[in-house]
C-alpha cells in the first residue's frame, strides 16, 4: 500500500446530520488507508433556503468546529458542505476556507471548490447538474461552477427542502436523479449535497449514465487528499479516483 496514502488524514467539518456515515464506512472499506475524522458543525435551521445556508456557513460556526477538529491532527481540512459554501459566491467561498485555514494552520478547501477542481482535473468543460435542492438554491451552484470556468449544459432540481430528507435517499433514487439530470452533450453529471449518500455507489452511478459522475462526498474526500498530499488513486471510487 502507498505509504504516503497510509498516513493521510482529512479532517471534515460536516454540518448537522444526513450522510455523515458515508465517511467512516469508506474508512473501513479502505482498511485505514485514509483517516476521515469528522466534527459536526452547528446548524440553526435545516433548510435548503439561502438565508439558512448563509447562517449554516457562517464564520462563527466554522471556527467553533475547526478548533475542535484541530485535535485530530489532520493533514488537511475540508468544509464538507456544498450549499453552505456556494451560496457565498466565488470570492466568499474562498474567504470561508481562508478563515478556517487561519485557525488550523493547514490546507483547507470546501466541497464547492472541490467540484471545480475535480472537473478541471478530469479535463471536462461541459457538465450536467442533478441537484437535490430547490431550483433557486441550485442556480447558485450553477453560477459558482460558471465562475470556475465550468459550462453547465443542464440543471435538474428535485426540490428537497432539508438535509435530513436527502440523507434517507437510497441508491436507486440517487441513480434515478443522476439519469434524469443527464443530457447527451454533458461530459459528466455533478451531484451536489454532502447530505446524500454516495461513496459506496460511485461505480454503479457511473454505469447508470456511461460517463463520470461526481458526487459531493466523493469530491470532498478527493480534494482533501489532494491538498493534504495524499494519493488520489483509489479503487471503487469512480473515474475521478482512476484518472
Mean pLDDT across 87-91: 97
Indicate the helix (H) or strand (E) that contains 53.
Answer: helix 50-56
Kindly state the cell numbers that stand for 148. 470556475
Stated pTM of the model: 0.94
Q: Write down the pLDDT at residue 32.
A: 81
Domains, the chain, ordered by start: 3-113+217-241 (3.40.50.12500), 121-215 (3.40.50.12500)
Does the pLDDT of residue 6 top 80, yes or no?
no
Q: Write down the pLDDT at residue 105.
A: 96
Residue 107, φ and ψ in degrees, nearest 5: -60, 135
Mean pLDDT across 164-184: 94
Does the pLDDT of residue 5 top 60, yes or no?
no
pLDDT tens, 16-71? 999 999 999 999 998 888 999 999 999 988 888 899 999 989 999 999 999 999 89
Q: Write down the pLDDT at residue 72.
A: 93
Q: Write down the pLDDT at residue 67.
A: 95
Edge-first strand order for the sheet with 151-157 is 151-157, 126-131, 189-191, 213-215
Mean pLDDT across 152-173: 91
Number of helices (H) and strands (E) in the chain: give both, helices first: 12, 9
Q: Write down the pLDDT at residue 149.
A: 96
Q: Write down the pLDDT at residue 243.
A: 78
Q: Write down the pLDDT at residue 231.
A: 87
Is the separation of the CB atoms in 15 and 56 below 8 Å?
Answer: yes
pLDDT band at 123 (very low <50, low <70, confident <90, very high): very high
Amino acid at each position: 500500500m502507498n505509504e504516503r496514502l497510509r498516513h493521510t488524514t482529512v479532517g471534515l467539518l460536516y454540518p448537522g446530520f444526513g450522510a455523515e456515515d458515508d465517511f467512516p464506512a469508506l474508512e473501513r472499506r479502505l482498511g485505514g488507508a485514509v483517516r476521515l475524522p469528522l466534527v459536526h458543525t452547528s446548524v440553526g435551521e435545516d433548510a435548503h433556503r439561502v438565508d439558512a445556508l448563509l447562517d449554516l456557513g457562517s464564520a462563527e460556526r466554522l471556527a467553533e468546529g475547526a478548533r475542535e477538529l484541530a485535535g485530530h491532527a489532520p493533514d488537511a481540512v475540508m468544509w464538507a458542505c456544498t450549499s453552505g459554501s456556494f451560496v457565498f459566491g466565488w470570492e466568499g467561498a474562498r474567504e470561508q476556507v481562508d478563515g478556517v485555514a487561519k485557525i488550523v494552520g493547514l490546507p483547507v478547501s470546501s466541497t464547492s471548490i472541490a467540484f471545480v477542481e475535480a472537473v478541471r482535473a478530469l479535463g471536462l468543460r461541459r457538465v450536467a447538474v442533478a441537484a437535490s435542492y430547490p431550483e433557486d438554491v441550485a442556480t447558485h451552484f450553477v453560477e459558482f461552477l460558471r465562475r470556475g470556468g465550468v459550462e453547465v449544459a443542464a440543471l435538474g432540481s428535485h426540490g428537497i427542502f432539508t438535509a435530513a430528507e436527502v440523507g434517507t435517499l437510497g441508491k436507486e433514487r440517487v441513480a434515478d436523479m443522476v439519469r434524469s439530470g443527464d443530457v447527451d452533450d454533458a461530459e459528466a453529471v455533478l451531484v451536489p449535497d454532502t447530505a446524500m449518500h454516495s461513496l459506496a455507489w460511485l461505480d454503479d452511478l457511473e454505469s447508470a449514465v456511461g460517463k463520470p459522475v461526481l458526487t459531493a462526498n466523493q469530491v470532498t474526500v478527493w480534494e482533501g487528499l489532494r491538498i493534504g498530499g495524499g494519493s488520489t488513486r483509489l479503487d471503487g471510487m469512480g473515474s475521478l479516483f482512476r484518472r
